[in-house]
């Protein structure tokens, strides 16, 4: 990756020039913060799995001719000469391409402070500012501190520490111990023995000996003037810190603070900042400004430089956005179903909308019917209505009642539909024993023994005998009160067909929304989600997601199994370069450029390729062919 140099131009100062003279020169505009760019592209440091055995590589050019490539430079006659080092040449530039990998980019630049700009009595603070589409970010400052400046800083800390040391922290120092001992020895010799007694003395013993409490004795011999003076010093701590420490020494907000003892050489600091990027971030800019201090006084603000732009290149742009389809079978016929609880009076089949929750249930069925009738894709052919009863009463009576209730519901909803050509059919289930079996198995109030007993009774073939046997059980009242009402339901089965379709089935393709979301995740640089969505497909875009996230082995396995298109070859070149397979990387890159010449320029954007282009002068090879 190229490295950017933020250079503060040298101050035209001579030996013996005063501080005022230097500042005047700065204010005159003879110097300003500038940005320059060295033509330097060091090879990226990848975790190499395989290393080339030789600096001489054998590849084929775009015409198919075999070539030998060497790590080489041109001599003064223009001839290629093998060499192991390529030195950088500084050129003016306003931008740099940086590669996004795994949602991050490294912004790298050098902060260079010329020796002529430094002074032993000054502190220079440089402030890099990063501007991106999502806002402006203040980077950590770079600070250059003169030796005499730092000496004065340390002196301030020493004076403040001396002040802190004068604050008494041991409260016994406030007591006049000598006078206390004299008093005891002369007036209370019987108490004086406590002076050297290390045993614990209770407050009661102390008071019986002194005639006063311990607290009263201590207060009597406390030097209150010391207490007052100490309290005042405690209250002055913050004020004295400001007085003595005018420019604190600290690393908060600082990347580096270097101390210079003389101005014999330039100071260069390599600044690398890793930032997270999203799909909206195509470019970020860096501006450098600064300040010059002498003690706590700001001598000069160094104006901001012209912005240095970083254009972000990403492998996400290589994703294939072609539509992806999946085969599906379209069926002519369709079915929908629902159920409702219509409450009937005991022994009655009349539908009464005002009874219990009937109004709500009937409205729900009407809403379902309306949606199906207005559906743009399907036409309704028929409706089958099935009514069921609970087990109380005779099976014969329930058979008649269930059939009558189904007919009553059919008439009610046929009137609602009107003259539409829809066939209404009815069916009945006199006693809904299968549903009762299921409700008993899932019931939380019945004991295991009661459920086992019910299961035994359910084997009785005659439903009337089964109902009679259950009436004798202690849990019957629970069944009748809580479970039986749920058996009295009306089921609706709606049968439809697709409009305009004659065949029963048609095989067709539809857009694969899962795949489309995976490609969108690549474009958004959300590679973790892209891998989750695209992993089952094991295709080119899956490899792009793997490669972007740094999963080289998984990407390589997929790419090597695919047809060698221009994009596949370019991605393979990146993977081979990362894993140290230079010859395979260069050959894949040349083949990609042969199929798609636009990859010649693209190679300058990706460090895995640009390092090889520079090292082996591939641009000359590709453009000459």
- CA–CA distance, 61 with 617 (Å, rounded to integer): 13
**Worst-scoring range by mean pLDDT, 51-55, 174-178, 428-432, 558-562?**
51-55
Q: Note whether residue 518 is domain-resident.
A: yes
Answer yes or no: do 237 and 173 share one domain.
yes
Question: Mean pLDDT over residues 117-138, rounded?
Answer: 90
Six-digit token string for 59? 């590849």
365 falls in which pLDDT band (50, 70, 90)? very high
User: How does DSSP classify residue 222?
Assistant: B
Q: Give the CATH number, domain containing residue 301.
A: 2.60.40.10
Q: Note whether residue 153 is domain-resident.
A: no
What is the reported pTM?
0.58
Show which of 440, 471, 505 is a domain's final residue. 505
Answer yes or no: do 594 and 563 share one domain.
yes
62 falls in which pLDDT band (50, 70, 90)? low
Q: What b/e sequence results for 369-400 when a residue is b if at least 16 CB atoms lie within 10 Å of its CB, and e otherwise?
A: beebbeeeebebeebbbbbbbbbbbebeebee
Answer yes or no: do 412 and 442 share one domain.
yes
Answer yes or no: do 599 and 572 share one domain.
yes
Count of the separate structural domains present in the chain = 4
Residue 7 has pLDDT above 50, yes or no: no
Per the CB < 8 A criterion, the answer to whether 144 and 115 are in contact is no
Answer yes or no: do 116 and 224 share one domain.
no
Answer yes or no: do 461 and 576 share one domain.
no
Question: Tens digits of per-residue pLDDT, 208-228?
Answer: 555 555 455 555 556 677 778
- CA–CA distance, 423 with 524 (Å, rounded to integer): 52
Question: Tens digits of per-residue pLDDT, 605-622?
Answer: 999 999 999 888 888 777
Show which of 244, 268, 290 is a domain's final residue. 244
Answer yes or no: do 411 and 338 share one domain.
yes
- CA–CA distance, 124 with 111 (Å, rounded to integer): 12
Q: Note whether residue 442 is domain-resident.
A: yes
Q: Note whether residue 454 is domain-resident.
A: yes
Which pLDDT score is estimated for 375? 92
Residue 599 has pLDDT above 90, yes or no: yes
Question: Tens digits of per-residue pLDDT, 534-559?
Answer: 999 999 999 999 999 999 999 999 99
Which pLDDT score is estimated for 48? 36
Question: Tens digits of per-residue pLDDT, 314-345?
Answer: 999 999 999 999 888 888 889 999 998 998 88
Per the CB < 8 A criterion, the answer to whether 574 and 315 are in contact is yes
- Structural domain that includes position 217: 161-244
Show which of 478, 505, 532 is a domain's final residue. 505
Length of the chain: 625
Answer yes or no: do 269 and 391 share one domain.
no
Residue 469 has pLDDT above 90, yes or no: yes
Residue 33 has pLDDT above 60, yes or no: no
Please provide the distance, in angstroms rounded to a whole number, between the alpha carbons at the two ends of the chain: 27
Q: Give the CATH number, domain containing residue 379.
A: 3.30.1330.60
113 falls in which pLDDT band (50, 70, 90)? confident
Q: Note whether residue 57 is domain-resident.
A: no
Which pLDDT score is estimated for 465? 94
Answer yes or no: do 358 and 305 share one domain.
no
Is beta strand 378-389 parallel, antiparallel or unpaired with respect to 423-431? parallel
Contacts of 170 (CB under 8 A, 6+ apart): none
């Amino acid at each position: 990756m190229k490295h950017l140099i933020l250079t503060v131009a040298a101050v035209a100062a001579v030996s013996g020039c005063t501080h005022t003279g230097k500042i005047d020169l700065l204010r005159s505009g003879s110097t300003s913060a500038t940005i320059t760019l060295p033509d330097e592209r060091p090879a990226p440091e990848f975790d190499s799995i395989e290393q080339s055995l030789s600096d001489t590589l054998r590849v084929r050019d775009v015409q198919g001719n075999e070539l030998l490539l060497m790590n080489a430079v041109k001599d003064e006659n223009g001839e290629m000469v093998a060499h192991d080092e390529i030195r950088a040449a500084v050129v003016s530039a306003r931008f740099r391409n940086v590669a996004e990998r795994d949602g991050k980019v490294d912004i790298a630049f050098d902060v260079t402070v010329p020796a002529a700009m430094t002074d032993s009595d000054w502190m220079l603070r440089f402030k890099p500012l990063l501007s991106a589409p999502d806002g402006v970010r203040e980077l950590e400052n770079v600070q250059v501190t003169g030796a005499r400046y730092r000496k004065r800083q340390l002196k301030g800390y020493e004076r403040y520490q001396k002040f802190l040391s004068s604050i008494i922290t041991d409260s016994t120092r406030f007591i006049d111990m000598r006078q206390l001992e004299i008093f005891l020895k002369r007036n209370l010799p019987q108490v004086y023995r406590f002076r050297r007694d290390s045993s614990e003395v209770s407050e009661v013993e102390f008071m019986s000996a002194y005639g006063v409490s311990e607290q009263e004795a201590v207060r009597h011999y406390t030097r209150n003037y010391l207490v007052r003076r100490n309290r005042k010093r405690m209250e002055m701590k913050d004020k004295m810190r400001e007085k003595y420490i005018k420019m604190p020494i600290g690393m908060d907000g600082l990347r580096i603070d270097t101390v210079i003892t003389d101005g014999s050489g330039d100071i260069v600091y390599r600044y690398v900042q890793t930032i997270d990027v999203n799909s909206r971030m195509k470019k970020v800019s860096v501006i450098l400004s600064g300040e010059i201090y002498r003690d706590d006084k700001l001598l000069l603000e160094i104006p901001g430089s012209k912005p240095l732009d970083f254009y972000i290149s990403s492998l996400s742009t290589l994703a294939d956005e072609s539509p992806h389809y999946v085969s599906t079978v379209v069926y002519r016929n369709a079915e929908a179903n629902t159920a409702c609880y219509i409450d009937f009076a005991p022994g009655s089949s009349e539908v009464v909308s005002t009874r219990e929750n009937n109004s709500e249930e009937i409205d729900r069925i009407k809403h379902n019917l309306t949606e199906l009738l207005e559906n743009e894709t399907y036409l309704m052919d028929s409706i089958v209505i099935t009514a069921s009863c609970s087990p109380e009463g005779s099976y014969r009576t329930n058979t008649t009642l269930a059939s009558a209730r189904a007919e009553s519901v059919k008439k009610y909803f046929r009137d609602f539909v009107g003259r539409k050509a829809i066939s209404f059919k009815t069916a009945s289930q006199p006693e809904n024993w299968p549903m009762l079996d299921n409700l008993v198995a899932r019931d939380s109030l019945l004991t295991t023994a009661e459920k086992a007993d019910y299961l035994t009774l359910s084997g009785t073939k005659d439903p009337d005998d089964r109902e009679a046997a259950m009436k004798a059980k202690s849990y019957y009242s629970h069944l009748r009160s809580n479970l039986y009402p749920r058996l009295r339901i009306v089921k609706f089965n709606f049968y439809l067909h697709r409009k305009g379709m004659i065949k029963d089935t048609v095989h067709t393709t539809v857009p694969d929304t899962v795949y489309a979301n995976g490609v969108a995740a690549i474009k958004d640089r959300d590679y973790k989600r892209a891998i989750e969505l695209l992993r089952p497909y094991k295709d080119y875009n899956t490899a792009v997601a793997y490669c972007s996230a740094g999963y080289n082995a998984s990407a390589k396995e997929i790419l090597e199994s695919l047809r060698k298109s221009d994009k596949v070859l370019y991605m393979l070149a990146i993977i081979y370069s990362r894993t140290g397979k230079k010859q395979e990387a260069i050959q894949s890159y040349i083949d990609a450029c042969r199929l798609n010449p636009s990859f010649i320029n693209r190679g300058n954007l990706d460090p895995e390729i640009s390092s090889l282009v520079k090292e082996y002068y591939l641009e000359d090879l590709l453009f000459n062919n």
